[in-house]
Every structure is written in C-alpha cells, then in structure tokens.
Amino acid sequence: MGKLKLRGKDLRAIGYPEGPVISIAMNIMEKNYKFTEQEDVMNLLKQILASPVEYANDAVLGLIAQQLIPKSEEQEGVEISLNQTGVPFNIFGADQIAEGATHQMYQAAKLPVAVAGALMPDAHAGYGLPIGGVLATENAVIPYGVGVDIGCRMCLSIFDIDPKELLQREHYFTRELNEATLFGGGRQFEQSTPHEVLDRKEFDEIPILKALQGRAARQLGSSGSGNHFVEFGMVDITAKDPILNLEPGQYLGLLSHSGSRALGANIAGHYTKVAKQKRRLPGETNNLAWLDLKEEEGMEYWLAMNLAGDYASACHEVIHDKIARQLGRRPLKRVENHHNFAWKEWYEGREVIVHRKGATPAGKDVLGIIPGSMTAPGFIVKGRGQEASLSSASHGAGRKMSRTAALNTVTDDLLKKTLLEHGVRLLGGGLDEAPQAYKDIEAVMQSQRQLIDVLGKFIPRIVKMDGAQKAAR
C-alpha cells in the first residue's frame, strides 16, 4: 500500500471551505494516517466536517476541527482578572504528571470562583481544566471544566458465567460485540431505540436541545471514537464487600466506556461560547469561562448537562441490555460512574460545584470503575470520601503519549506482539490507543491508595474499539 496523498480539490468536493483548513487537514492526515486507505480517510474527514465539535478535544484531529468550528462574534463581556494566588489543591502522583497539566491546574486555582481543587495521578493537559483535574467552585459552572464529552462514563455488568467461555466460544462473543453498538465519530443507527430519556421535557424547553433531539435518538446506544470501547473480560473478586455484595471468585464481565455523543459535544460548544462572551478571561485561561447558576444561561446549561449525563447512561444501558438478552442472563451486578461532569456537593460546610474532568467520584462507599488500557487491568473500586481529593480518584491510567506521538512510535508489529502476550483479541482499534501510549495503571493505583479501596479487577480479553474492522491479535 502506498502512502496517503490527498488533493485540495478532493476536500473541496466533500464540502470543505476555501481557506487554511484544507492545507491543515491535508498535512495532518498525510502525516498521521499515511498508511490508511484513502476512502477511510475521506470518510473520517466527512465526519469531522459534519460535527467538528465532537472532535475538538482530539489531540490530532482537533486541529482540523478547530478550523471548522464557527468563531464566536466579539461581544462586550465582563473582563475578569485572576487572583494572584490560587486556592490550594493536592496533587496525587506528582511524579507521573507532566508539567503542562500541573500548570493548567494552577491557573484554574486562580479563578475568582475557585474554592478548592485536586489533581489526579492520571492527569494530562486538556482544554480548560486538565484531564484528571477536579475543581470546586462557588455557585458557578465551567462548561470546559466538565468537558466536551459530557457524562462520559464507565459501565460494568458482571455475569455468573465462567470466563473460560471467552476462549472456548470466542467467535460467539466477538459477534455479540460487533453487533451490539456502532463506533465512529458521526455514526448513527438507521432506526432509533425507544427510551424515556428521549422524551425529556428539556428537549422542548431549551432551544439548542430541540435541534439535537433527532440525532440524539439515532445515536442512542452508539459508542463514538477515540478511547471509547466495549469489551468482554474476566472479573476477579478477591473478597466479599457489603457494598458490592458479590462472592469471591471469577466472573464474566462486560465493560463499556463512552459518553453523550453529539448531544454533549454540541451542548459544551454552545455554552462555552456563551460563557466566553459573558466573561473574558486572560490568555490561556479563556477556556475556563464560567456561567453563574443564578443566571438564565447557567441554569440552562445545568439542565442540559444533566440531560446529557442521563443520555450517556442510557447509551450504556441500551448496549448492556442488548448483550444481556443475547447471553440469556441478567447481570449479578452493574457498576457505573460518570467522569466528565459537575455535581452539587458539600465542602467545609457549604455547597459547591465540583467539576470532575476525567476524574472518578470517590465519595464514601461509592462504587466506580477505573480502567487501564486494552491490555492492562481495570479496577472495581469503592471510595473513601477523602476531602483531600474532593472525594475523587483517577478515571483511568492516563496518557503518557499524545495520539500523534503514539502513531509515530508504536508499530503494528509491536501492538500485535503486546496483544498476543496478554491474550487479548482486538476488534478495530488503532496505534493511537496502543497500550504503550498509557501510563502504568498499577503505579497510578498505588498513587491513590488512600482515596479508594480496590474490590476487584477486570482483565480484558475481547476488545472492540473504533477503527479498522479487522480483528488483531
């Protein structure tokens, strides 16, 4: 296969506007997707054009998306100055966190509305808050403190099935994953699945949501792109816990990771634009513009954010229920949690808004899932409710390589060798999500041992992600 070569007229033919975006898109795709089929690349470019906000946070494709997102009109807004000294925040696993993420957290801590913060050991730089950043504010919500993929979450169904069946009936379980959901940035089902979340009154009461309802219906139960996945694996419970309430032993597990799709991305983009127009922050902190929860726009965003979170939960529910029906079993237990969201919680005797952008809620006795990578184990955890972390923990292992660095470093042969060593079958996926791109999950867990109790492990065996449809070993 020859190297990818794009022409400007090809991009214009699919609707790309005249301007810098054409040369930027050509350069990025030829550099990062040079051995990908041209048809696949053009389809991906179409998806970015159709919904650029969905790709705005992607480390590679975000550069294209940013050129396609309409620029906000300049409006008069309140000019905000940062405090000279920020509120204190604790850092967990500082030796594993790059300077860029720490710098972003220090800037967020200087916001006039900031009350307290924390930085998780899986942290890396993002837009607004760093991924792995936790920030408590006073009566204010920061759309980019929640993130583009509102309500992105983990969901684990645990079945009373011998996990050895994953090897004995691999073809069967592979088929179920392939048929259970859709992957890809702009993918939609031809027919929607009925669900009560689609009938919520917010779709009629908030103008931006009304325009998104039809697409939300067609994407319900889909999984998106990037690091989102649905996978089968072995669940190992080592001791009985009264909250999890499962006997020690090995079970079959179904684990999924995805968020609110185009619904959440468009909500985030719209209200971030509104926040920036109302409050102008200096330099790199402009993405931390907030909305007051007493003003109309703040109340609107809060309702829309919660709808997107419930929609993300419904997406997982559809996937897990579909597969459970095929397995002919009800799960013994289902554990799930958001990790891109804002909650009203109490801190030092007052109500605050706690933003967890890529952080797992870890309140006292609260269950959650912290995944590793496509070959590394995930962990079933129970929170200890530690105020030092604002009752939070990491949301995963965290990236140590950008997507571009992974694509330029990891080879197909290395990925196949790693999958073989760990006994993992990969359906789709790409080098940008290779295990080598992630931090050591065991080290990350060690850095937050005072925040959570580990109740069990999830060991991946058959992993479905966005990307080529071929299966890899």
Confidence class for position 31, pLDDT limits 50, 70, 90: confident
Confidence class for position 384, pLDDT limits 50, 70, 90: very high
* Number of other CB atoms surrounding residue 40 within 10 Å: 13
Considering the chain, what is the average pLDDT of its residues?
92
Mean pLDDT within 100-112: 95
8-state DSSP, 95? G
At residue 469, the pLDDT reads 41
Question: HSE (CB half, 13 Å, CA atoms) of 80?
Answer: 25
Which residues, 6 or more positions from 191, have their beta carbon under 8 angstroms from its beta carbon?
218
pLDDT at 72 over 70: no
- Map out the domains of the chain with their CATH numbers: 8-50 (no CATH), 149-261+299-332+366-472 (3.90.1860.10)
8-state DSSP, 1? -
Q: What is the pLDDT of residues 318-370, one digit of tens each?
A: 999 999 999 999 999 999 999 999 999 999 999 999 999 999 999 999 999 99
Q: What is the pLDDT of residues 292-302, one digit of tens each?
A: 999 999 999 99
End-to-end CA distance of the chain: 21
For the residues of 272-311, what is the DSSP string, one character each?
Answer: HHHHHHHEE--GGGGGG--EETTSHHHHHHHHHHHHHHHH
For 71: left if phi > 0, alpha if psi spans -120 to 50, otherwise beta; the answer is beta
| Model pTM above 0.75 | yes
Q: What is the pLDDT of residues 452-473, one digit of tens each?
A: 999 999 999 999 999 744 444 4
At residue 468, the pLDDT reads 47
Which residues, 6 or more positions from 306, have their beta carbon under 8 angstroms from its beta carbon?
none
Confidence class for position 71, pLDDT limits 50, 70, 90: low
Mean pLDDT within 288-292: 96
Give CA–CA dist 214/141, Å, rounded: 27
- Tell me whether strands 471-472 and 425-429 are parallel, antiparallel or unpaired: antiparallel
Q: What is the pLDDT of residues 233-248, one digit of tens each?
A: 999 998 999 999 999 9
At residue 179, the pLDDT reads 92
Indicate the range of 37-51, 188-202, 233-247 predicted with least confidence. 37-51
Mean pLDDT within 7-29: 85
For the residues of 8-20, what is the DSSP string, one character each?
Answer: HHHHHHTTPPSSH
Tokens of 368: 């959650």
Residues 451, 384 contacting (CB under 8 angstroms): yes
Give CA–CA dist 193/219, Å, rounded: 9
b/e burial code for range 149-182 (CB count within 10 A of at least 16 → b): bbbbbbbbbbbebebeebeeeeeebbebbeebbe
Mean pLDDT within 294-321: 97
Mean pLDDT within 59-70: 82
Residues 69, 269 contacting (CB under 8 angstroms): yes
At residue 472, the pLDDT reads 44
Phi, then psi, of 193 in degrees rounded to 5 = -95, 125
Phi, then psi, of 19 in degrees rounded to 5 = 140, -175
